[in-house]
């Protein structure tokens, strides 16, 4: 079955003023849509790969045929990353807060929630060019922050060497913020915390 562009779980203007409606519209209907289209194209004639989940395509990226590996890495990664990115955000005031369990893990790894936000933003600001900042849960329940270039993600063993399972990610490509913030990536990352959907992060942290 072909991969499809997901609907947003909220209106395009619901994340304003952190993220404006036009950015949301172009980001999903143009950029994300192109990743979906090009992923389906790359998988044409590969029935066994079309049957795999998007998670498994990312996890097994290193084992894919060389002829399509880069296309699936870029476009399958792009589809996974953006599908999650929409869910990792919610209108201000509706995203809840870190659970007691997640808070304890954040405090253990980063000292405090503010210490976490500072390190996460530094990972995003420090990513040269285009990419993502990630919060990952290791198998032992501890947390780590990393960043990846392009549309790589921490599920991609052997390519993105973050380790762990990504439970929160922020898109720091210019297309994610340039209309409203121009070159001010740090301002975008600061405003982004207002629309983080902690309910989804809590769910992914608890999932084993
Ligand atoms: Mn993007």
Write down the pLDDT at residue 208: 65
- Distance separating alpha carbons of residues 133 and 196, to the nearest angstrom: 13
Write down the pLDDT at residue 162: 83
Residues lower than pLDDT 70 in the chain: 1, 208
Q: How far is the CA of 100 from the centre of ligand 1 (A)?
A: 31
Q: What is the pLDDT of residues 72-105, one digit of tens each?
A: 999 999 999 999 999 999 999 999 999 999 999 9
Q: What is the pLDDT of residues 136-154, one digit of tens each?
A: 999 999 999 999 999 999 9
Residue that has been written with the tokens 């976490």 in this structure: 116
* Bridge partner residues of 134 (DSSP): 146, 169
Domains of the chain in sequence order: 21-87 (1.10.287.990), 100-207 (3.55.40.20)
Write the CA distances from 71 to 21, 124, 200, integer angstroms: 29, 24, 29
Q: How far is the CA of 109 from the centre of ligand 1 (A)?
A: 28
How many residues are there in the chain? 208
Q: How far is the CA of 175 from the centre of ligand 1 (A)?
A: 6
């Amino acid at each position: 079955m072909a991969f499809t562009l997901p609907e947003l779980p909220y209106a395009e203007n619901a994340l304003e003023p952190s993220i404006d409606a036009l950015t949301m519209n172009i980001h999903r209907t143009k950029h994300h849509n192109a990743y979906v289209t090009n992923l389906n194209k790359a998988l044409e004639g590969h029935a066994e790969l079309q049957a795999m989940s998007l998670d498994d395509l990312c996890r097994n990226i290193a084992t894919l045929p060389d002829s399509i590996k880069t296309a699936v890495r870029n476009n399958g990664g792009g589809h996974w990353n953006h599908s999650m990115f929409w869910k990792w955000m919610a209108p201000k005031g509706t995203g809840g807060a870190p659970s007691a369990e997640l808070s304890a893990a954040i405090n253990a790894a980063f000292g405090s929630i503010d210490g976490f936000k500072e390190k996460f933003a530094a990972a995003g600001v420090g990513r040269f060019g285009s990419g993502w900042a990630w919060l990952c849960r290791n198998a032992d329940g501890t947390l780590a922050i990393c960043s990846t270039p392009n549309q790589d993600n921490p599920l991609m063993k052997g390519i993105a060497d973050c380790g762990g399972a990504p439970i929160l990610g922020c898109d720091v490509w210019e297309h994610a913020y340039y209309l409203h913030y121009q070159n001010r990536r740090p301002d975008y990352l600061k405003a982004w915390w207002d629309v983080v959907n902690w309910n989804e992060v809590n769910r992914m942290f608890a999932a084993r």
